[in-house]
Amino acid sequence: MSETQLLQGNEACARGALAAGCSFYGGYPITPSSEIAEYMVRELPKVGGVFIQMEDEISSLAAVIGASLAGSKAMTATSGPGFSLMQEHIGFASMAEVPCVIVDVMRGGPSTGLPTSPSQGDVMQARWGTHGDHPAIVLAPSSVGEVFDLTVRAFNLSERFRTPVILIYDEIIGHTRESVILPDVVETVNRKPPDVDPAAFWPKEAPSDGVPPLPAFGDGYRFHVTGLSHDHRGLPSDDAAVAGSLLARLHHKVEHHLDEVRQVEASMLEDAEIAILAYGVVARSAREAVILAREDGIRAGLIRPVTLWPFPHPQVAELTRGVDTVIVSEMNRGQIIGEVERATAGRAHVVPHLRADGQPITPNELLGTVRSVVGRST
């Protein structure tokens, strides 16, 4: 039977990781994500898992990658400055196709910035922080319950596609406490093991879905792990055809299965003339602003991308087809607006509502922008 509990967002993340089968956590404490590490250091050993505090965020993700290659479902959690330090290893995990989950509880920046204040300033870093062309899956919960659910989903997608998956939310979601219905059983996905004899195994020979099987170190399969461009044997190669084919496969294994990855929530759009597009904690204010606008006689609706990357361009294009204006609201200087403009392709006017001072965007602030767009006084 499902159980209802009062959970903090960061605690829900740790609970979701354990429910998904996480057995290794490598991390370094940083505000406002530290409660995840604090929970895991207490609870992970109770289920036979391993927690290790590393000397910094770089080594934390390195340990996570090693644990994953040894067969563990592995994760780390951090915030903006630590997330910046992890970028090189995120690129390595993408190229080497190592499943892992990275949680980024965002705070104000740049640099040390506002350690205890909320922000959504890491959205573009989550997509483009590491160098080169690489796939990216980034999920953005907007409630404590959804933190639990999307942590599980992050592990499942990571194992399914052999790629790092990033769960991104802000200080408010991380430290809010809400009643959460925890299921007795969650659906979990495990990486595919090889189905051939070790002598016939090529580590990067992919089946039709583009995702090669992954044995654990010690299972008797010999394979090479590298961040260099490599061939189907896993051996480095600078051949242009090999490099191009590898990068194409890394992207296609996600892009050919976008129905499994992309998730968008929409509400009250059937007759909407204005849509607010928001994610994470701002989507909560946006939902209330839409309700207030409806009470004011303004036909407003909400679009909430749950999957930030790959950005759901087709869904946003379809959902905005009948609206005149899309208000994009973010706690940054405007990081997702360009994607919305690309999706709407000039069919709707895109208006920013931004805030980047460590304070949340309120429903009444958003309502004021809605009213100004339709020419009504506040």
Could you give the domains of the chain? 3-182 (3.40.50.970), 265-373 (3.40.50.920)
What is the rounded CA–CA span in Å between residue 33 and residue 117?
12
Residues ≥6 apart with Cβ < 8 Å to 137: 154, 157, 158, 161, 163, 164, 165, 166, 254, 261, 307, 309, 310
The residues pairing with 291 across neighbouring beta strands, listed in sequence order, are: none
Length of the chain, in residues: 378
What is the rounded CA–CA span in Å between residue 337 and residue 305?
13
> Residue 296 has which token pair?
């004011």
- The DSSP result for 213-236, as a single string, is --PPTTSS------SS-B-TTS-B
Position 21, amino acid: G
Residues ≥6 apart with Cβ < 8 Å to 194: 201, 213, 215, 221
Q: Is 26 left (phi over 0), alpha (psi -120 to 50) or beta?
A: beta
Q: Which long-range CB contacts under 8 A does 36-39 form with residues at least 24 apart?
A: 36/10, 36/11, 36/77, 36/103, 36/105, 37/77, 39/10, 39/11, 39/14, 39/15
Each residue's pLDDT expressed in tens, for the chain with a length of 378 residues: 678 999 999 999 999 999 999 999 999 999 999 999 999 999 999 999 999 999 999 999 999 999 999 999 999 999 999 999 999 999 999 999 999 999 999 999 999 999 999 999 999 999 999 999 999 999 999 999 999 999 999 999 999 999 999 999 999 999 999 999 999 899 999 999 999 999 999 999 999 999 999 999 999 999 899 999 999 999 999 999 999 999 999 999 999 999 999 999 999 999 999 999 999 999 999 999 999 999 999 999 999 999 999 999 999 999 999 999 999 999 999 999 999 999 999 999 999 999 999 999 999 999 999 999 998 644
